[in-house]
Amino acid sequence: MTLTPYLTVHDGVAALAYYAAAFGAREEGERYVEGDGRIGHATLVIGEDVLFVSDEFQEFGAYSPATVGHATGAVVLEVGDVDRVYAAAIAAGGTADREPSGEPGAREGWLVDPFGHRWALRQARA
């Protein structure tokens, strides 16, 4: 089995650029774009993990945090250097939620991306 997050955003083109700048995401495969310009599907790869992204399609029940007024979940991203990735995500346009700090067994920082999704960046300690 494989679990793949599928994020709905209010500006797909900008989201793809943000995830590339913030997390080093690279787009893989062919992007599906509707006739009205909305991204129906894009596949991003971050490290070895896959993330799907689409614009809002309210007619199909796909709403972004910008429309509902808040995030409804969070994505946890394991990284090698939480401080570096956190700084890059903030510099790319994210909003700080909780600065990176240590806790038993890990170092973690939380942010909200420009599209309203919450991210926990986590660095396991050896």
**Is 72 a member of any domain?**
yes
**Is 14 a member of any domain?**
yes
DSSP the chain: -----EEEES-HHHHHHHHHHHH--EEEEEEEE-TTS-EEEEEEEETTEEEEEEE-BGGGTB--HHHHTS-S-EEEEE-S-HHHHHHHHHHTT-EEEEEEEEETTEEEEEEE-TTS-EEEEEEE--
**Is 1 a member of any domain?**
no
**Is 117 a member of any domain?**
yes
**Is 36 a member of any domain?**
yes
Report the number of distinct structural domains present in the chain.
1
* Residue span of the structural domain in which 104 resides: 6-123
pLDDT(105) > 80: no
The CATH number of whichever domain residue 75 belongs to comes to 3.10.180.10
pLDDT digits (tens, 9 = 90+) for 34-86: 999 999 999 999 999 999 999 999 999 999 999 999 999 999 999 999 999 99
Query: Looking at residue 110, what is its pLDDT?
Result: 98
